[in-house]
Structure 1
Amino acid sequence: MQVPLCMALKIPVIEQCTVSNSFQGGDLMVEDLATYLNRNHDLIFPHRHNFYHFLLFTAGGGTHSIDFERFEVQPWQIYFMSPGQIHSWQFEGSIAGFVVNFNRDFFKNFLMRPEGIANFSFFSGLVKDGVFMIESRERAAVLNILTRLLENVADEDFARVSLLYLFHVLEKQRGASRGSETNVYNHTLLRNFLDLIERNYQTLRLPKDYAAMLYITPNHLNALSNEFLGISAGELIRNRIVLEAKRLLVIHDHAIADIGYALNFNDNSYFTKFFKKATGLTPDEFRRSMQLTHEQNG
C-alpha cells in the first residue's frame, strides 16, 4: 500500500511567523542577521520554510547546507532559498549581515506576471544557482538597498520595489539575462520543465512524458537540459526524486520502506538500488551518515 506523501512523510516546516520578530508581521521580514540568529539559535536542525528566504553574510564563518550541499560561509556570500528547500547551518564567530523572508504572495498583485519571482535564476530551486558571491563593484549598492529596506520595512510598496531592484542588480551581475529571442524561449522552456518536475516527479519518471506536456520532442528537451544544466533530462528527473528521498530520510520517524512507497517505488529493494546507484550509499547508510554529521556538529 502506497503511503500518501502529503499525509505521512514530512520534514519540519518553519512558518514565517515562527521566525519573525514581534515588531514585523504580514508577508515580509527584514532583519539584522546577528539578531535573527540570536532569536532562532535552535534552528540548526534540517528544516524547510514555507516562504522565500535569502541571506547575505558580511562577516563570520562556519558552514551552511541547502538540500544537502554544503557551503563555507564567506563575507559577501549570498544565498537564496525557495519554499520547500531544506537547510541547516553551523555558524562560527561573529556573524553579520541581513536576512529577508517573504511569503509566496508578497508580489502577487504587484507583478504583471505572477511567475515573475521564479524567473530570477537564483529562485530556480537549483542549489547551484542560489549561492554565490556578490562582486566588489556591486557591494555598495546591495548594502545600501538592504539598509534602506531594513529602515523602511513597514512600507510594503517600497519594500517590493527595493527587492525587485536588488534582484535585477544581482541577476545582471550573474550575466543571467539572455539577448536572443531563441535563448529567452529556451530558458522559459527549461523553467517550465523544472516546474513540471516539481509537481510530477513522484509519478512521471520519463523525459518523454514531460516533453509531451511542453509540446517539444524528447531530443529537444534533453538538448535543452544539457545546454543549460550540463546533465540529461532523465538525470534531472532522477535527481529530484533522490533529493526528496534525502529530505525524508533525515527524519528518523519514517521507515525506509514507507519513504520508498511514498515516492512511488512499489518494491523497497528497487528503491534501495535506485538510491544507491545515485548516491553510492543505501538509504540506511545515508541516514546514519547524516545523523553522525549532526551529532558531530552538535
Structure 2
Amino acid sequence: MKAIHADTKELLFSLTEASSVAFSQPLQLAEYVVLFVPAGKGVFHADFTTFTFSGPVLLFATPFQLLRLETKEEVPFSLLRFHGDFYCIEHHRAEVACNGLLFNNIYQQPFVQLSSAEARDFSQLIAQLQAEFKQPEPSGIVLKAYLQLLLAKSSAIKLKTLAAGQDGPPADEQMEQFRQLLDQHYLTLHKPADYAELLAVSPNHFTKKCNRYFGKSPSRLIQDRLVLEAKKQLHLTRKSVKEIAHALRFDDEFYFSRFFKKHTGVSPQTFRRRTGISIVADLSMQ
C-alpha cells in the first residue's frame, strides 16, 4: 500500500506489514520511518547507535539513516514511510512537535515505549490507515490526518516519559551542559578535548561519562551535530551546496561533500534530490 509522487516517482507514503527479516541487513531509506512493533524484542541499529527494544514500541528513523534490526527470532511490525513532500514535519511543527523529538535528535534514543492500552490505540490507527489505502481512490487528506494523529500521539507519550524521567538515565548536569555547549560551538570546536576543557574534566573521564549518558562517544556526537545541521540546510533551505559548506565552516564544497558522504552514505546532492526541499524553504524567503 503506497502513494507515489506524480512528478519525481519518489515514494510519498506507504504502509506495509513486514518483519525483522527485512531489516536483518543494513539498509537506507530516503523517507522518514516509523516501525510499530506490537510484540517481540531485539536490538535496533540506527547509524552507529544501538539500543535494545521490547514491544509494544514505536521505532523512528530519519532519511538515509543506516538501519538494521537484530533479533533472535522473527519479529513482525508495521512499517510506515513518508516523504517530506507528503508531510513536512518542520512545517507542521506547531501542530505536532515531533521534529527534534521523534526525528532529528542526536541525543535521545529514537523510540517510544507503549503501554498495552496505547498499543491498542496505535493498532486501531494502523487499521484505519490500511482501510483508507484499500479504498479505490485513497484520500491524501485522510491519510495525512491519520499520520499526523499518529505522530502527535507519539510525541505526547515521548514527552510524558521524558518528564517522568523514564526515558534514559537520570539527568546529569554536566552532560546536559555538554549538550548546550555542543549546540553553541559545533561549528568551531571539533575535538572532544575542547569540550572536556570547557567542562573542567579530564578527556578520559569526559568520554566515559558521555558514552554512559548518551550511548555515543563525544567524537560521534560532534560529527552527528554537524551532519544534522547539514541535513537541515539541504532540506529546509535553497542554499547551494557551496553556500552550505561555507556556512558550516568547511574550506570548500568538495571537502564538505566528502565529509557528508562519509557519514551518510550519499552525497549532499543526492540527499537533497531524494528528500526534496521543504515548503519551509520558500516560506522563509517570503
Q: Cα deviation per residue 1:173-196 (whole Å; 9 max; x = unaligned)? A: 2236999xxxxxxxxxxxxx99x9
Paired residue for 1:64?
Answer: 44
Query: Residue 160 of structure 1 aligns to which amino acid in structure 2?
Result: K
- CA-to-partner distance for each residue in 1:212-255, whole Å, 9 max, x for gaps? xxxxxx99xxxxxxxxxx989xx97861416889xxxxxxxxxx
Deviations 1:54-74 (A, max 9, x none): 101113343221122223342
Is 1:82 the counterpart of 2:62 in the alignment?
Answer: yes
Q: Counterparts of 1:97-136 in structure 2 under 5 Å?
A: 97-108=77-88, 119=99, 121-126=101-106, 128-136=108-116
Aligned-pair identity (%)? 14
Hey, what's the Cα distance between the residues in 2 that align with 1:108 and 1:122?
14
Task: Return the alpha-carbon distance in structure 2 between the equivalents of residues 109 and 80 of structure 1.
Answer: 13
Mark the CA change 1:127 to 1:90 in structure 2 (over 3 Å): closer, same or farther: farther
C-alpha displacement of 1:143: 1.2
Q: How does 1:202-281 map to 2 (within 5 A)?
A: 204-205=188-189, 239-241=221-223, 262-263=258-259
Structure 1 vs Structure 2 CA RMSD: 4.6
Tell whether 2:14 aligns with 1:29: yes
Partner amino acid for 1:88?
R
TM-score (norm 1): 0.48
Structure with more helix by fraction: 1
The answer to whether the 8 Å contact 1:48/1:86 transfers is: yes
Q: Give the count of matched residue pairs.
A: 188
Contact 1:65 1:89 in 2 (8 A): yes
How far the C-alpha of 1:133 sits from its partner, in A, is 0.9
TM (norm. structure 2) is: 0.50
Partner Cα distance (1:93, 1:238) in 2: 31
- Unmatched 5+ stretches in structure 2: 6-11, 164-178, 192-197, 200-211, 228-253, 261-286
Distance 2:64 2:4 in 1: 21
Is the contact made by 1:48 and 1:84 (CA closer than 8 Å) also made in structure 2? Answer: yes
Counterparts in 2 of 1:231 and 1:137: CA distance versus 1, 3 Å: same
Deviation at 1:45, TM superposition (A): 3.4
The residue identity in structure 2 corresponding to 1:81 is A
Listed as ranges, the gaps of 5+ residues in structure 1 are 1-20, 180-192, 208-217, 220-229, 246-257, 265-298
Question: Which AA in structure 1 matches 2:18?
Answer: L
* 1:168 aligned residue: 152
